[in-house]
Structure 1
Amino acid sequence: MLNWVSAALLVGAVVIVVRWLHARVDAVGRTRAFPWFSTVCLVALGFACLVPGLLRARLEQRLSVAAETIVGAPVEVRCQAFGGAFVDAGADLGYVAFGPDGVPERATLIKRNQCRDLSAYLRSSKESPINEQVVAVHVLTHEAMHMRGFKNEAETECLALQYDADMAQLLGASPRAAHDLAVTYWQNVYPRMPAGYRSDECGPGKVLDARLSGAPWSVLE
């Protein structure tokens, strides 16, 4: 929506300049002053409205690169814009669409708040992330699992928490900080997830244990 506002403001600046060019001289032959103030204000506001979109595109690119490493194929991570968040009443924090054949799109939408938390995590030292940042990193991993083809939420959630440390490292965390983030999610967040997202078979040595070195129950070497 801000892109449209930006376009309107820049078009307004062009209209002012064009009108001035067609009426530079008044009825008595005097040259009219160039409308610097209105033109500069409209141009400045127009470019200012472009900034959020440019920052979002930069964040999306960073997140896409990390996610596609986990997925093993090119993917697109999109962050929810302000307009989408304004009308969104859903409780999900991310979304991947599956086709009628059960094949997922290689694209995901991450909700606005979680993208904000991911942006904050990227700018941080990543040594002591707040709970919202831990969850946001996991949401990105969870949606990456969906893009790999896993549909069942309990299975997807369990596999995702075993890849959280890898995702955190892809986002710039040290191995120790990444492992700590995965452990934090496993111990503090996962037990409070809705029943549909949890499984008794999720844990060390259980059915959903993928035996990954980055699993939160693994020993960090």
Structure 2
Amino acid sequence: MKPKVLAIIPARGGSKGVPRKNIKELAGKPLIEWTIEEAKKSKYIDRIIVSSEDKEILQVAQKFGADVPFVRPANLAEDTTAGIEPVLHALEHFSDYEYVVMLQPTSPLRLVEDIDGCIEQLLQENAEFCVSVCEVGQSPYWMYTLDSSTKMQPLLKQQTLITRRQDLPKVYTLNGAIYLANIDLLKQTRNFITEETIAYVMPVERSYDIDTEEDFKICEYRYTNL
């Protein structure tokens, strides 16, 4: 049977790197609209809610088809608020869903095929947690720390230094696009990253996470030059 899936889009109003980032226009649409549109195409998501303390963001989200069942408390929208807290707060309002998928609006290049692919992978592998990742461009096997005299120390200890890029192990990083979990277990762990979490690999070209004005320009360029 198809599980009941709740999508939560957390979008606070106090962005520092890019002011009013979540409703700033990207290629002619408010940033948050790109995520709402893809979530609405999902064949698994039953309801899409936006969590924000900002009334303007909530109005924009509602305009484009997301539910806004509450206003997030201001103390859960501070710079120091852990990302899991708005999700756990939202889950206090719902009890009839099995899984929750957090979709950050700062990943506008993410497609519905990524969202549904992540859900399908979790179900097929009987997993309880799944997050999106992408392959890194700069390998940590070629990274170093420097001591006080600027002597180099390998970040990852190796018996033999890998000198050819072709021989480097593939390494992945969280791309911030999709966080999926069994709700009951998420309430226990209070974290999407556990020892049981599996990875859904996304293409690098859809893995931009907007944090700066430069990120914004890169994503806009990709959309306007498709």
- TM-score norm. by structure 1 comes to 0.30
Greater relative contact order, per chain length (Cα 8 Å cut-off, separation 6+): 2
Report the structure, 1 or 2, having the larger strand content: 2
Bigger Rg, which one: 1
Report the structure, 1 or 2, having the larger helix content: 1
